[in-house]
Every structure is written in structure tokens, then in C-alpha cells.
Chain A
Amino acid sequence: MDYNQDQIKVLLEKYWEGETSLAEEQALKTFFAQPELPAIWQEEQAYFQFLQQEKSISLTKEVEANVLAKIKPQRRSLTRRSLVINLLKAAAITLVFWSGMTYLQQANSIENKILAWEDKYEPESPEEAYRQTKAALYLLSSTLNKGTNKAVKSVQRVQESTKVLK
């Protein structure tokens, strides 16, 4: 919107009273940016031109370059760190999977041995059957514990490595 001189007078009063909007203040700056204005506007023109000129003050390029130089290495090291953490996570998953597979293989081999033994052996009395069953269950339990302990130790080792990195 273009303002005539009477409207500018009204706007100026509003400005000095601190009641103008940003758009009205911009209109005043535009008006006083004109090269040839009557002498009555001399002081206001000097002031509004000063406000505009102050906006031309700018920071040197070096400061921006310094900031970016300080920021970028941090960013690279963060990326490297997250890569190591991801690799450790993958290693932990592989270890847990491997421990599980080892345990299953051992359990299968015990089962096969029991089946083979059943084909060949026939207990002669209920007491002997009870003794043999007890021994077989004890063997299964101890093998199961070994497999579980291995898995727990592997997970603990991975947790310790992650703590060191943090």
C-alpha cells in the first residue's frame, strides 16, 4: 500500500507512540528511503535510513567456516561410533543364535543316544528302570546347564564391550 504525506504523518505519530504494526513500520521505512523528500522530514528520514542501513551489518565468512569446521568432525565421530555399536549388536545377535544352535544340537545328540540305547537295552526290574531313567535325566540336566552358561557368558561379554565404548 502506498501512503501519501498526510497518511505518513498519522503513521509517524502512531510509530512514536509505539502502536504501529510491523507492516506499517515497513511502510515508513519504504517512504523514507526515497531520495528527495521535503526538508520537514529530514530528521525522520535520517533515522529510518539509519535503521535500514544497520541491517547491512554482517558477520565475516570466517566465523561460519570456523563453526562448520568444529561441527563436522563431531558429526563424523558420531557416525563412526554408531557404526561400531551396530556391529557389536550384530555380533551379540550372532552369538546368542550360535549358542542356541549348539544347545539344540547337543540336545538332539542326547536324544539319539537314548533312542539307540532303548533299542539295545531292556531293564530287568522296575528298580533298574528307575535308576537308569534318573541317570539319563541327570545327564540331560547337566548338559542343558552347560549350554545356558555359555550363552549367558557370551551376552555378558558383549554388554561389557558396549559399556567400554560408551
Chain B
Amino acid sequence: MSLKDFTKRILPIKDKLYRFSLRIVGNVAEAEDVVQEVLIKIWSKHQEMAQYQNVEAWCMKLTKNLSIDKLRSKHNRVGMLPESYELTSKASTPEELLQAKDTVAQIRTLIAELPEKQQMIIQLRDIEEMSYQEIAVALEISMDQVKTNLFRARKKIRAQLINTESYGL
């Protein structure tokens, strides 16, 4: 893989890698470090890249492994996104913006309370829109495990969403 291919094929997925790492390490600076490390590692193996059928899933696998290493070395909590983290919101008034931020924070907490594997599967399927096959490669588990964990994660999310009194959505 040339530098041109790297710029064309790998750099465009950097945001996906970052969001995935952020879901695991829960810290902006550490997720940025992970992505930087992942991208440099990918480049160091650019001559072997042709043998990988699904480059994106392989990159996600690297991101997962490095994020988990970082998380274990720092003893961080899984999935806790920092409050300072900003999203682009469609809310037009300050009240709507406040409400939107509140809702986002509540749903984030809800996902952060899921087991680690289920959080990663929700991130890869419902946010990054990856196929079961790609998720299986990225997480190094079987497709059946992907489906089972996705079902369990969604079941818990649904139960929490219905409980509107607790979350006030």
C-alpha cells in the first residue's frame, strides 16, 4: 500500500476508529493517542495490507486491542465520556439545546452501563453501521456471539427507554 492508498483508504475511517476507541477508553486525549498509534501501526504494516480482505474490520480490531490495553494500563472506567465532549446538535433554542444535551448524556450513560462487549457491538452496529461479519472480525468473536450480544444489548436499552420516569426522556 502506497502513501496515496493509505491517504485514500485508511485516513477516511479515522473518525470511526476514534469513536470506537472513545467508547472503550472514555477519554478524548487517550482515544486520540490510540488512533494515532493505530494509524502509525497500520502504516508500518502497509506492505502486508493486500492480504487482508476487510481492511476496515482489521483496523477496528487493532483499535479495540490498543484501546483495551490503554484502558487496562490506566484503570479507566469503560464508556464514560467526558462532559466537556460536544456534539453538533440540531436544537435551535437554548432550552432545546439543553434538553438535547441532557438526553444525549442519559442515553450515553445507559449504553455505558452495558457490559463491555455489548457496548462495542452497539457502537459498531448501530452507530458505525457495520455488518455482522465485519463486527465478528473486529471483535474476534463468532457471528452468533455478535447476534446474541446485540439482542441482549438492545433488550436492555429498550427496557431502560420504556422506563421514562427514571430517565425523563
Chain A positions within 8 Å of B, measured between CB atoms, are 15-18, 22, 25-26, 42-44, 46-47, 50-51, 53-60, 63-64, 66-67, 70-72, 74-75
Question: When the two chains form their complex, are residues B169 and A59 in contact, meaning their CB atoms are under 8 A apart?
Answer: no
Residue of B nearest to A15 (CB): B154
Q: Give the chain B neighbours of A47 by CB distance below 8 A.
A: 107, 157, 161
Question: When the two chains form their complex, are residues B161 and A43 in contact, meaning their CB atoms are under 8 A apart?
Answer: yes
Question: When the two chains form their complex, are residues B161 and A63 in contact, meaning their CB atoms are under 8 A apart?
Answer: no
Shortest beta-carbon distance from B32 to chain A in Å: 5
Shortest beta-carbon distance from B68 to chain A in Å: 19
User: A46-B169, A50-B104 in contact; A55/B127 too (CB < 8 A)?
Assistant: yes
- A55–B124 Cα distance when bound, in Å, is 11
- A126–B19 Cα distance when bound, in Å, is 98
Q: Taking chain A's interface residues, is the majority helix, strand, or loop, or is none over half, making it mixed?
A: helix
Looking at B36-44, B51-59, B70-78, the stretch in contact with chain A turns out to be B36-44
- A44–B169 Cα distance when bound, in Å, is 10
User: A25-B129, A51-B126, A53-B87 in contact; A63/B32 too (CB < 8 A)?
Assistant: yes
- A130–B165 Cα distance when bound, in Å, is 120
- A53–B161 Cα distance when bound, in Å, is 17
Q: Give the chain A neighbours of B128 by CB distance below 8 A.
A: 55
B49 interfacial contact with A, CB 8 Å: no
Question: When the two chains form their complex, are residues B150 and A18 in contact, meaning their CB atoms are under 8 A apart?
Answer: yes
Question: When the two chains form their complex, are residues A53 and B40 in contact, meaning their CB atoms are under 8 A apart?
Answer: no
Question: When the two chains form their complex, are residues B162 and A67 in contact, meaning their CB atoms are under 8 A apart?
Answer: no
Contact of A16 among B36, B39, B88, B155 (CB under 8 A): B155
Q: Give the chain B neighbours of A25 by CB distance below 8 A.
A: 125-126, 129
Question: When the two chains form their complex, are residues A53 and B104 in contact, meaning their CB atoms are under 8 A apart?
Answer: yes
